[in-house]
Every structure is written in C-alpha cells, then in structure tokens.
Amino acid sequence: MMKGAKPNVVEAIGGTPIVKLNSLANEVDSDIYVKLEFMNPGGSTKDRIGAYMLDQAVKEGDLKPGGTIIEGTSGNTGVGLAMWAAVHKYKCIFVLADKQSQEKIDNLRAFGAKVVVCPTNVEPDDPRSYYSVSKRLAETIPNSFYVNQYDNIHNRNTHYNWTAPEMYEQTSGDFDVFMAGVGTGGTITGCGKYFKEKMPNVEIVGIDCEGSIIAHYKKTGEICEAKSYVLEGVGEDFIPGNYDFDVIDDFEVVGDKESFLMTRRLLKEEGIYAGGSAGAAICGALKYAKKQKTKKKILILLHDSGNRYASKIYNDDWMSDNGYLDASFNVQIKDVLNDIGKKGSIFTINDTSTIGQAIDIMDTNGVSQLPVINSAQEIVGLVAEKNLVKPVLMGEFAKDDNISLASTSKFQIVDQNELLETVAEALLKKEVALITENGKLKDILTEIDVLQYFSKKGNI
C-alpha cells in the first residue's frame, strides 16, 4: 500500500485540529479554543461513534454478516454508521424527525440507506416518534441490529477511549474548562469522565437548548415538560442512558435564535463553517466566560459541518421567514431616522384626489411615496411612484382617475419607538413602513433608508 495512505475512509476518522477563536472571543477575558470535529471524513464527530459502536457490535456478535443496521438519528450519526456500513458491506435503515434539514436526509439516501421520516412534536413513547419507529423496525426486520445511540454505552465509551485522549494529547491537558453541546450524552459524559480522571480540577460544562429537559434535570432532579425547539443535535425530551451527571459540573442554556446568529458569525468572523450546535456551543461558552472572575482556557467540541444546514441557517430567506434576524435590527426606528438625517416632513394625499394630483405632488416635492388619508386623517393606502409608471404608460390609469385605484395596502404602520426588527420582514419584502409619533404620521421608512443606516454604522 502507498506510504502514508489509509486502508479505507473509516481509518481516516479522528485527528481533527484544535484552533483558537480570535474575533468572537474578544468580548471576554478567557481564551476559547475549538476542536473542529466537522473535519472528520463524514463531516461530524458522530463518525467516531458510528465506527466504534459498530466495531463493538461485530465483536460482541450483535451485528452479523449480511445484517441491517437500524438507527434513529438526527442525521450525523446516520452518516457515521452509513460510512462504516459502505466499507464493510452492510445495509442501513435510518429514522429521522421531520425537523432535520433536507441535506441530512439527502446525504443518508446518497449512501444507499433507506430513510424514514417521523413527526417531531410527539412524545418519545408515541408510536409515531422516531425512537418508537426505530425500535419497531428492529423488532420486525430479520437479522437487524438496532444501534440505539441513546442507551448504547459504547457511545460514551467512544469518547472516553478515543476523542478525549486525543484532545488531552493535543493540548497536554492545558485547559481549565471543557464544553460541548448535549444530546445523547455520549460526548459530554465520555470526555468528562476521562478529563476528570486526568485533571481533577477541570470543569465540565454542557450546552443545552431552551425547550430541552437535560439541564433542568441536572439542576433539580426532576423531569420537566419538554417544549419544541429548532436546533438540531442538541437537547432531548427524555434522559438517555449514556448520561452520567456526576461528571458534568454545570450547564449553560441557549436559544435557537442566538445560536443560529452565532453560527453565521462563526463563519463570517472566524472562517469556521460549522452547524447550528456549534453556534449554540459558542453562545454558551461566552455566557460562561462572562461569569468567571479569573481568566480561563476553555476548550469546546464543535460537532458538525455547516454544509448540512445550507438550506436553513445559511439561507437568508429561511432565516428571515423564521424570524431569526440579526441583532443589528434591535435599534429604535426613531434612532434610524435621526442617524440618516430624516427631518420628519411627510407629504400626504386625500383619498378623493386624482392620480394626476399625486404625480404633481411627487414631482413638486421630490418624493416617491404618498400615504393616502381619508377625511378622518386615517391612513387608508399608499401610492408609490414605482407602482404608477407602468399603468400610466400602458394607459390603464388616466390622470383624472381617483387615487384609490393606484393605492396599495402593502405597508406597515408602526410607532417610532418600536424596534427596527418589527418592520424588518416588511422591508425585506420591499414594502414601506409608515412611522407614527403619538399616533400621528411622522415619516416613511424604506429599505433604502435601512441600507443607508447600516452603511453609516459600518455594517455593510
């Protein structure tokens, strides 16, 4: 065999680098380092448990030649299992919840695996859940092996015997805190157990998400009601068997929106193309670091690649449609108007006026939009220059036609004290925001105004 070559792709798993964060860590005193597990050949840290669990299943006689591998997965473990199965010639069936990205589903099918998609918002013991469906398939398909990463202790053994020793060797144990997103419990428990044995003073901190029950259970010993969340690969609505809470010192809990925005910042500011759980982990690490009284070295494991989320977190339309807007929109509208020098002078037109009169007002005063008001001074419409040009040229409208024929309802009325975020979606759709002060019309805000504001602030 060629010198330096690996015998197959499974043997290429591991050896992922650790790098220091620079820009994102500027707001804290602590140093933050991240292990880039998405540089595994299958794109995530789950390559490790996929190979390790199946190797053990073969050794223990649970997975037999010609067998079918069955697993409920959020996608990444499935890829790790499918990659091992392709090399060793096994069949796979994977069961996913419908909140998982299409990229994950497509990746698994590309390996030749069969994929079953189940509803997300059902209880774990519901027969429709991906946990229940996975078990049922394993019970009914001959010569099959249900991996069950949640309760399969070889999950956490993977990280105790492989991932953690690798990080310890890379760093010589020169860190104070280890942090990772929690899901099945394998990573945080396996790594935590190993590090505690080697470094008695190390702190092990899990990153959980709002809606999950894991952090709450650690702090109270009680199982609370789980709520829905969008983050993939983080959090659970039950307590998997892989957890050993004795090796976890604390938790930080983060939300969907802040995690997704941080994921995008991680790429833009650090050049690290990782998944949503990475953004969650960075958010948690920054929250934790801000609480510390002394400088710490924090090591974080980043689970998977950003290419699994191209249609979601890295898609502007998806982010906008789901309300995950940049914090730059958290500024009052009146501040935006002041910063760009708008004077608060606005021209209107009565709803009894004609299109010709509207054109004259626009031409005389150099404006391109006119709110239409009725006799009670209520805003009943908006006429815009861009909406007049084609109909007038085509002869659809005459100059003496009533202005109501050319007015549109595509505008939003909002008080100047509201946040820009409240009208962001309308502006992204190239609609207009009519700004009021104490109920009286004050100004018009357009997408060009917002671009001008961000340009002055140096955001573009």
Closest CA to 138 of 70, 58, 82: 70
Is the pLDDT assigned to residue 428 strictly greater than 70?
no
The H or E element spanning position 70 is: strand 68-72
| Residue scoring higher pLDDT (246 or 378) | 246
Is residue 259 classed as helix, strand or coil in its secondary structure? helix
Task: Using alpha carbons, list the distances in angstroms from residue 136 to 66, 112, 144, 186.
Answer: 20, 21, 11, 23
Cα distance between residue 96 and residue 117, in whole Å = 5
Per residue in 190-201, pLDDT (tens digit) is: 999 999 999 999
Cα distance between residue 15 and residue 105, in whole Å = 27
Query: How high is the pLDDT of residue 132?
Result: 86
Is the pLDDT assigned to residue 457 strictly greater than 70?
no
Angle between helices 421-428 and 447-457 (to 10 degrees): 120
Domain ranges of the chain: 9-324, 328-457
Which residue in the block uniquely carries the two structure tokens 């299992």?
A: 81
Query: How high is the pLDDT of residue 126?
Result: 80
| Residue scoring higher pLDDT (291 or 128) | 291
Is residue 77 classed as helix, strand or coil in its secondary structure? helix
Task: Using alpha carbons, list the distances in angstroms from residue 64 to 61, 71, 72, 90.
Answer: 6, 16, 20, 9
Query: How high is the pLDDT of residue 75?
Result: 81
Query: How high is the pLDDT of residue 460?
Result: 54
As annotated, the active-site residues are 46
CA 376 to chain centre: 47
CATH topology of domain 328-457: CBS-domain (3.10.580)
Tell me the backbone φ, ψ of residue 45, rounded to 5 degrees. Answer: -65, -20
Q: Of 169-173, 280-284, 414-418, 450-454, which range is least confident? A: 450-454
State the CB neighbour count (10 A cutoff) for residue 68: 20
Query: How high is the pLDDT of residue 89?
Result: 95
For residues 251-279, one letter each, b for 16 or more C-beta atoms within 10 angstroms of the residue's C-beta and e for the rest, the string is: bbbbebbbbbbbbbbbbeebebbbbbbbb
Is residue 93 classed as helix, strand or coil in its secondary structure? strand
Q: Of 89-103, 184-198, 319-333, which range is least confident? A: 319-333
Is the pLDDT assigned to residue 105 strictly greater than 70?
yes
pLDDT band with cut points at 50, 70 and 90 for residue 204? very high
Closest CA to 431 of 415, 452, 445, 441: 445
Q: Which residues contact 132 (CB under 8 A, 6 or more apart)?
A: 124, 125, 126
Cα distance between residue 158 and residue 145, in whole Å = 18
Query: How high is the pLDDT of residue 317?
Result: 82
| H-type alpha helices, 207-344 | 214-220, 256-270, 276-291, 316-321, 333-339
Give the rounded percent of residues in the chain with a pLDDT score beyond 90. 58
pLDDT band with cut points at 50, 70 and 90 for residue 459? low
Per residue in 386-418, pLDDT (tens digit) is: 778 877 777 888 888 888 888 888 888 888 888
Cα distance between residue 191 and residue 161, in whole Å = 9
Query: How high is the pLDDT of residue 386?
Result: 78
| Residue scoring higher pLDDT (2 or 323) | 2
Q: Which CATH architecture has domain 9-324?
A: 3-Layer(aba) Sandwich (3.40)
Q: Which residues contact 410 (CB under 8 A, 6 or more apart)?
A: 382, 429, 431, 432
Domain 9-324 and domain 328-457, same fold? Reply is no
Mean pLDDT within 172-194: 98
Mean pLDDT within 67-89: 92
* DSSP category for residue 309: G
Which residue in the block uniquely carries the two structure tokens 């929690």?
A: 182
Amino acid occupying residue 329: F
pLDDT band with cut points at 50, 70 and 90 for residue 96? confident
Q: Of 8-22, 399-413, 421-435, which range is least confident? A: 421-435
| Residue scoring higher pLDDT (8 or 376) | 8
Tell me the backbone φ, ψ of residue 220, rounded to 5 degrees. Answer: -120, -20
Highest mean pLDDT among 205-214, 356-365, 385-394: 205-214
Mean pLDDT within 60-66: 95
Mean pLDDT within 93-108: 86
Would you call 301 exposed, middle or buried from its count of C-beta atoms within 10 A (0-12, 13-18, 19+)?
A: buried
Is the pLDDT assigned to residue 381 strictly greater than 80?
yes
Is the pLDDT assigned to residue 327 strictly greater than 60?
no
Query: CB of 427 within 8 A of CB of 381?
Result: no
Give the rounded percent of residues in the chain with a pLDDT score beyond 70. 97
Highest mean pLDDT among 241-245, 354-358, 382-386: 241-245
Average pLDDT, the chain: 90
Q: What are residue 251's DSSP bridge partners?
A: 206
